[in-house]
Amino acid sequence: MSDLQDTIIPSDPAVLQKIGMGIREVLASKVRAKAETDLQTEIFQNLSEETGVPNNMLRKLASAEAEIGGIDKLQKVVDDVVALKVSVDSAMRRVLTPITTQQKVDDDE
């Protein structure tokens, strides 16, 4: 609380009004956010009961879709990862083949 003791509260009515309006706006936003959270909880619960898919799995799917930007983008990420793995595997085979061949020659001698 020591920070509050050192804080100077403005006395200008216009500034106080601005602070009050800002705080009311933040409080209203918090109420809306809480309502959205409650709505999501209800949707996941109902969907889980109706489909048999666990609530936490539905939440993970929704979060993944929101973070990535949709199922189409998720599929593109998966495709890119698969293509990268194929490229890396191919490159590793080209790099390791001479080593394996050389080891065979060394072993035969």
DSSP state string for 47-100 = HHHHH---HHHHHHHHHHHHHHTSHHHHHHHHHHHHHHHHHHHHHHHHHHHHHH
As a whole number, mean pLDDT of residues 32-45 equals 97
pLDDT for 64: 78
> What is the pLDDT at residue 96?
73
Give the global pTM.
0.51
pLDDT confidence of residue 51: 93
Amino acid at 64: A
Neighbours of 44 (CB within 10 A): 19
Instruction: Note the pLDDT tens digit of each residue in 67-82.
Output: 777 667 777 777 888 8
Confidence of residue 93 (pLDDT cuts 50, 70, 90): confident
Could you identify the residue written with the tokens 């020659």? 105
Which amino acid is residue 54, in one-letter code?
P
- What is the structure's pLDDT at 9? 82
CA dist., res. 10 & res. 40, Å (int):
40
Q: Is the pLDDT of residue 40 over 80?
A: yes
Of 104 and 84, the one with more pLDDT:
84
Average pLDDT, the chain: 83
CA 4 to each of CA 1, 7, 10, 16, 37: distance values in angstroms, whole numbers, following the listed order: 5, 5, 13, 16, 32
